[in-house]
């Protein structure tokens, strides 16, 4: 599974960080940092939740 | 009980998410989804922002799945059709066209409709905003270059429409019956900050005044306000709140009281769940019966209600969250905010309109508001989840400030 963020869409709402803190972090500069581009399968549920909860539909999963 | 036929009434975010969750959890039976609009499920937040200004085409609002295509869900669509009745004992939904849809499980996600101002229906140029078609109509009216736009009601929709119209360079008057904008959502103190934000951007803000009359021939020409002022306008957008769409359920036996009344797990009756704007349920985390009109709640509650329908009924206890983009500012609230809560600014500056405020009630942290501070809001949100006391929350904020 590969996590792709469209940074043109991302507005750092930080919902992804709540859903999958292992993968997404919005720091105090209010930019989103993807901590793991290819998280393990055990995180799939959380990453899918992050995709759904993103208000900008800025996250996609490949594979 | 074997769940073979699921009917979802409401083809917007909550209903759509319920459908996705049913499939994710392995439901292989039929899912019939009924929507009164002709469109497939779409995302509403851009309707008062990017779609209204023309920054985003309407097609871009179509909702996606986390993975794969919407067609993979194998849904049986009934678009452009309204449910008109529910036979609870016979487990059947009635559609306006006469069709009867029997179900083993029913999801009610019919959302809410904007309230209208009486006596304005005959006037061109008076709009409400809920649907994609509403947004396209207002967009066309804005693009036609009105001399002045009046926005009646400074809730989220009104405040965002005012900001969008202003960003197009139009003259905008914002009229609110309460003393500040967003008072119901943010309370009086933070609502005043939002009033300043709009004034700063050149909006003509009228607070604590009502509308006496919206006048015109065929088209709207002016608005008379309760303080005696008269505004010449050629476009009016009304954003005075919504009413849950429960008319079709009257007499069905379901309990209706400002929405479909559910138990803590989103269940309204045996084999019936409700989700999204139409649903009212006791949120045990806040010891409060809520009906939440936020985007994020439609997603979370749609999923939760689907799991309840599948037999996994646990209490739905979210920390509600919403955001509102106005001008270059992002307002976010996690948790709750009421008029009589204690409010404390814990970081940043109100003058710069970049800050975090905590809301306290009965010795507990109940809400975290941020203006253009998204990372901090989400970080402090955890304290609400953990049930932090007011004192402990303030101490933690002070330690990191």
B396–chain A Cβ distance below 8 A for any pair:
no
pLDDT reading at B121 higher than 90: no
Contact B299 A11 (CB under 8 A): no
- Predicted local distance difference test score (pLDDT) of residue B278: 98
B113 CB-side CA count, 13 A: 10
- Portion 287-346 of B in contact with A at CB < 8 A: 295-296, 299-300, 303, 321, 323, 325, 330, 332
Residues of B in contact with A27 (CB under 8 A): 375
Contact B375 A51 (CB under 8 A): no
- Predicted local distance difference test score (pLDDT) of residue B1: 53
Average of pLDDT values for B265-276? 98
- Predicted local distance difference test score (pLDDT) of residue B119: 85
Q: How far apart are CA B104 and CA B92, in angstroms?
A: 9
A61–chain B Cβ distance below 8 A for any pair:
yes
Q: How far apart are CA B13 and CA A56, in angstroms?
A: 14
| CB pairs < 8 Å spanning A and B | 53
B377–chain A Cβ distance below 8 A for any pair:
yes
DSSP states along B167-187: HTT--EEEEESSSSTTHHHHH
Nearest residue in A to B45, CA atom:
A55
pLDDT one-digit tens code per residue, B164-198: 999 999 999 999 999 999 998 899 999 999 999 99
pLDDT one-digit tens code per residue, B333-377: 999 999 999 999 999 999 999 999 999 999 999 999 999 999 999
Contact A12 B375 (CB under 8 A): yes
- Predicted local distance difference test score (pLDDT) of residue B271: 97
Average of pLDDT values for B203-215? 97
- Predicted local distance difference test score (pLDDT) of residue B2: 73
Band of the pLDDT at A28, cuts 50, 70, 90? confident
Contact A30 B372 (CB under 8 A): yes
Given the DSSP bridges, would you call strands B105-108 and B235-238 parallel, antiparallel or unpaired? Answer: unpaired
Measure B97 CA to nearest chain A CA, in Å.
33
Measure B194 CA to nearest chain A CA, in Å.
19
- Predicted local distance difference test score (pLDDT) of residue B68: 82
Average of pLDDT values for B34-62? 96
pLDDT reading at B388 higher than 90: yes
SS (H, E, C) chain B: CCCCEEEEECCCHHHHHHHHHHHHCCCCCEEEEEECCCCCCECCHHHHCHHHHCCCCHHHHECCCCCCCHHHHCCEEEECCCEEEEECCCCEEEECCCCEEECCEEEECCCEEECCCCCCCCCECEEECCCHHHHHHHHHHHHCCCCCEEEECCCHHHHHHHHHHHHCCCCEEEEECCCCCCHHHHHHHHHHHHHHHHHHCCCEEEECCCEEEEEECCEEEEEEECCCCEEECCEEEECCCEEECCHHHCCCCCCECCCEECCCCCEEECCEEECHHHEEEEECCCCEEECCCCHHHHHHHHHHHHHHHCCCCCCCCCCCEEEEEECCEEEEEEECCCCCCEEEEEEEECCCCEEEEEEEECCEEEEEEEECCHHHHHHHHHHHHCCCEHHHHHHHHHHHC
pLDDT reading at B128 higher than 70: yes
- Portion 38-57 of A in contact with B at CB < 8 A: 48-49, 51-53, 55, 57
Measure A50 CA to nearest chain B CA, in Å.
9
Residue to mutate among B64, B354, B378, with most A CBs inside 10 A, is B378
Measure A43 CA to nearest chain B CA, in Å.
14
Residues of A in contact with B321 (CB under 8 A): 15
Q: Are B33 and B108 in contact (CB under 8 A)?
A: no
A12–chain B Cβ distance below 8 A for any pair:
yes
To the nearest whole percent, how much of chain B has pLDDT over 70? 100
A22–chain B Cβ distance below 8 A for any pair:
no
Nearest residue in B to A54, CA atom:
B296
Kindly calculate the radius of gyration of chain B based on its CA atoms and give it in whole angstroms: 22
The alpha-helical segments, DSSP class H, found in chain A are 15-19, 44-53
pLDDT one-digit tens code per residue, B289-328: 999 999 999 999 999 999 999 999 999 999 999 999 999 9
Contact A15 B321 (CB under 8 A): yes
Average of pLDDT values for B97-101? 97
Contact A52 B17 (CB under 8 A): yes
Nearest residue in A to B321, CA atom:
A15
Average of pLDDT values for B202-228? 96
């Amino acid at each position: 599974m590969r996590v792709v963020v469209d940074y043109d869409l991302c507005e750092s709402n930080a919902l992804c960080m709540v859903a999958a803190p292992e993968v997404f972090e919005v720091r105090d500069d209010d930019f989103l940092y993807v901590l793991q581009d290819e998280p393990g399968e055990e995180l799939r549920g959380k990453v899918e939740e992050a995709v759904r909860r993103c208000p900008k539909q800025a996250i996609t999963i490949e594979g | 009980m074997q769940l073979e036929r699921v009917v979802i009434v409401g083809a917007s975010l909550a209903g759509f998410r319920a459908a996705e969750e049913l499939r994710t959890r392995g439901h292989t039976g039929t899912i019939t989804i009924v929507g009164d609009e002709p469109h497939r499920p779409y995302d509403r937040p851009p309707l008062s922002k990017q779609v209204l200004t023309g920054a985003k085409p309407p097609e871009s609002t179509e909702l996606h799945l986390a993975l794969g295509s919407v067609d993979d869900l194998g849904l049986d669509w009934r678009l452009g059709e309204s449910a008109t009745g529910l036979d609870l004992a016979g487990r059947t939904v009635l559609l306006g066209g006469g069709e009867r849809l029997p179900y083993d499980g029913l999801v009610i996600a019919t959302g809410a409709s904007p309230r209208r101002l009486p006596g304005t229906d005959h006037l061109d140029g008076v709009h409400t905003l809920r649907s994609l078609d509403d947004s396209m109509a207002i967009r066309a009216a804005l693009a036609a270059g009105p001399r002045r736009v009046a926005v009646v009601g400074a809730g989220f929709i009104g405040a965002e429409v005012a900001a969008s119209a202003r960003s197009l360079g139009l003259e905008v008057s914002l009229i609110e019956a309460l003393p500040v904008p967003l008072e119901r959502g943010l309370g009086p103190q933070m609502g005043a900050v939002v009033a300043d934000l709009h004034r700063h951007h050149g909006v003509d803000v009228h607070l604590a005044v009502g509308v006496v009359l919206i006048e015109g021939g065929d088209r709207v020409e002016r608005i008379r306000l309760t303080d005696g002022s008269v505004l010449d306008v050629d476009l009016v957008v009304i954003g005075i709140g919504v009413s849950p769409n429960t008319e079709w359920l009257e007499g069905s036996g379901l309990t209706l009281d400002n929405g479909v009344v559910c138990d803590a797990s989103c269940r309204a009756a045996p084999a019936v769940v409700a989700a999204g704007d139409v649903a009212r349920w006791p949120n045990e985390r806040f010891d409060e019966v809520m009906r939440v009109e936020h985007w994020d709640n439609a997603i979370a509650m749609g999923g939760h209600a689907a799991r309840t329908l599948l037999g996994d009924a646990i209490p739905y206890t979210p920390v509600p969250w919403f955001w509102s983009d106005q001008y270059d500012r992002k307002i976010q609230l996690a948790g709750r905010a009421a008029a009589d809560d204690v409010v404390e600014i814990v970081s940043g500056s109100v003058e710069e309109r970049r800050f975090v405020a905590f809301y306290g009630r009965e010795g507990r942290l109940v809400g975290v508001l941020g203006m253009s501070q998204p990372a901090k809001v989400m970080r402090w949100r955890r304290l609400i989840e953990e049930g932090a006391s007011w004192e402990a929350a303030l101490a933690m904020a002070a330690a990191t400030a």
